[in-house]
Structure 1
Amino acid sequence: MYTTLLSAEQLAALLDARARLMIFDCTFDLADPKSGEKQYLQAHIPGAVYAHLDHALSDKGTPDAQSGEPQPHQDAASGGRHPLPSREKFAMWLSGVGFANDMQAVVYDRNGANYCGRLWWMLKWAGHEAVAVLDGGLQAWQATGGAVSADTEPSHFQSNFELRAPLRTLVRTQDVARRLGRGGQTLIDARAPQRFRGEVEPLDPVAGHIPGALNRPFVQNIGTDGRFKPAPQLRAEFEQLLAGHDPSTVVHHCGSGVSAIPNLLAMELAGFAPTALYAGSWSEWCRTPDLPVEKG
């Protein structure tokens, strides 16, 4: 069972052994939401299911009449630009694509684990331990001679995926706000430094960050070879960032709860215990009245 990362060679061995697994392609582009599926249709690991960030891994709801922004459904598990669907709704999607509790899940993208990390975390949140990120993504698979396909997505038999106790912690806006400035909470923001400092804000209505947050852009977890950095290097970098803060108090966030996951996964690779995710992230925080904003 693989629970964090697996290599292209390890995936090939699983496929050769006809292991019971399902592969998910999570390629996406925030600037062009249709391009991920187009890239999937051009080339993907044979048999892979496409997991669309906006449709499968988010619960955007209907657009607001005044702002035009999608509003989460009432049963959504978070707010923000990419609201988490409820665990029950997510389980229905998994069942619809034929994923079952006894399967190994393998997730990948072409984006430095930025988007496939979302599905990795959601499966853990649904109580499924056997899920791993393909280290290096589709690029690593092709570099080792792995085959790709341009076939349409295969048909699926309906399964009956059963939710189990969550294996990862979801934190909500009210939880973050209540603990702000009181200790026992260390916020790590995965956005680019310019957005964190409030110098630019291309996606949300307010620029800045949650007061007291630390900044670690998610791209810092990936080495020049496109794979996650070695565990000792990741541990040293996070220890330097935390500067004495208790790792168990860490709550990860970003703009909309997606690019925070590489930081969360990297901490686990570094040997830290699983940490929490604030899925609503900055996009929910900055839209919530009366919450403080910090710049610089």
Structure 2
Amino acid sequence: MYSTLIQASTLQNLLADSTQHVILVDCRHDLANPSAGQAAYAEAHLPGARFAHLDTDLSAAKNGKNGRHPLPTRAVFAETLGRWGIDNDTQVIAYDAQGGMFAARLWWMLRWCGHRAVAVLDGGLPAWQAINGVLTSELSSITATTFMLQPELVELVVVEQVEANLTAPQPRLIVDARSPDRFRGENETLDPVGGHIPGAANRFFKDNLQTDGTFKPAEVLRTEWQAVLESRAPAQTIMQCGSGATACHNYLAMEVAGLGGAGLYAGSWSEWCSDASRPISRD
């Protein structure tokens, strides 16, 4: 079972083993051009891969107050998994072409539904192409099945908990995955208000990656993340970002580093800043 990352060469061998029930999910996306991922998938994707659209398959409807990528209910997402042919015995491999930026969202959501056998292709599509992995434009037939929800393996934090955390005697550390300039409230192009949640620390999700787009070694991630956490246990932290996607990347990096147990505020900054009564910091 693969439950965090899988290397391209390992995936190649896994797919060659007909005894394994493996389903790939292509999570490519472009925040500035939401149709780009599906267009790229139609042009070429890993054999047999399903396509997951961040705005529809991995998100619920927006209402102006619940952020840019609100989570669907677990029940609705379980139905989506079943339509993709994913059941409780499936090894799921998620990939994108952005260093796991969007694949990590699917990884986290499956763990939220209680599924352990889900991993992100380390390095994504570029890593697959680097070993001359096969690509195709053909669509595979899908046999729908039933995915049965299991107890959650991750903690979902809601906005009321984050509000209460501001005045808690021993507050949990909020870790914001956005770029440093957006964290400071500068160059904000995705959300109507710039800044960050008071007391939050900043760990840009791209700092989890090496120059080739693969994750840094576990021991390096552990050292870097321990510097962010200082003396806190992972359970005393809450991952957050702009809309709940790249926060999952930080969550995955912590798991790779052996620092599992954080919470995830899925509504993130886009939900937080939708209510003018919530405080904002820009320092």
Fold equivalence (TM over 0.5): yes
Specify which of 131, 141, 148 is matched with residue 155 of structure 1.
141
Secondary structure of the structure 2 residue equivalent to 1:240:
helix
2:136 counterpart of 1:139: no
Tell me which residue corresponds to 1:71. Answer: 63
Q: Which runs of 4+ in 1 moved over 6 A?
A: none
Whether 2:44 is the aligned partner of 1:91: answer: no
Q: Does 1:249 align with 2:218?
A: no
Paired with 1:290 and 1:267, the residues of 2 have a C-alpha distance of 32
Q: Tell me the CA shift for residue 163 of structure 1.
A: 0.5
For residue 244 of structure 1, report the CA deviation from its aligned partner.
2.4
| Cα separation, 2, equivalents of 1:272 and 1:241 | 12
Secondary structure at the counterpart of residue 291 of structure 1: coil
Which of 152, 168, 174 is the equivalent residue of 1:166?
Answer: 152
| 1:29 is the counterpart of 2:30 | yes
Superposition RMSD on alpha carbons, in Å? 1.3
Which residue of the partner structure matches residue 2 of structure 2? 2
Is the contact between residue 181 and residue 212 of structure 1 (CA under 8 Å) also seen in structure 2?
no
> Which ranges of structure 2 fall in alignment gaps of 5 or more residues?
none
Q: How does 1:36-55 map to 2 (within 5 A)?
A: 36-55=37-56
**2:176–2:247: 8 Å Cα contact kept in structure 1?**
yes
Q: Residue 64 of structure 1 aligns with which residue? A: none
Q: Mean Cα displacement is larger for which, 155-164 or 168-177?
A: 155-164
Contact 2:114/2:152 (<8 A) preserved: yes
CA contact (8 A) 1:12 1:146 kept: yes
What amino acid maps onto 1:258 in structure 2?
A: A
Counterpart pick for 2:110 among 105, 115, 123? 123
Pairs within 5 Å for 1:139-288: 139-151=126-138, 153-182=139-168, 183-288=170-275
CA-CA distance at 1:146 after TM superposition? 0.8
Length-normalised TM-score, structure 2: 0.96
**CA deviation map 1:180-238 (0-9, x unaligned):** 14224110000011110012211111110000000011000010121100011111111
Percent sequence identity over matched residues?
48
Q: CA deviation at 1:150?
A: 1.3
Paired residues, what number?
281
The offset of 1:273, in angstroms, is: 2.2
CA distance in 1, matches of 2:120, 2:155: 19
State how far apart, in whole Å, the 2-side matches of 1:173 and 1:189 are: 14
Q: Distance in 2 between matches of 1:226 and 1:199?
A: 25
Cα distance between partner residues in 2 of 1:193 and 1:92:
37
Which secondary structure state, in structure 1, belongs to the residue aligned with residue 246 of structure 2? Answer: coil
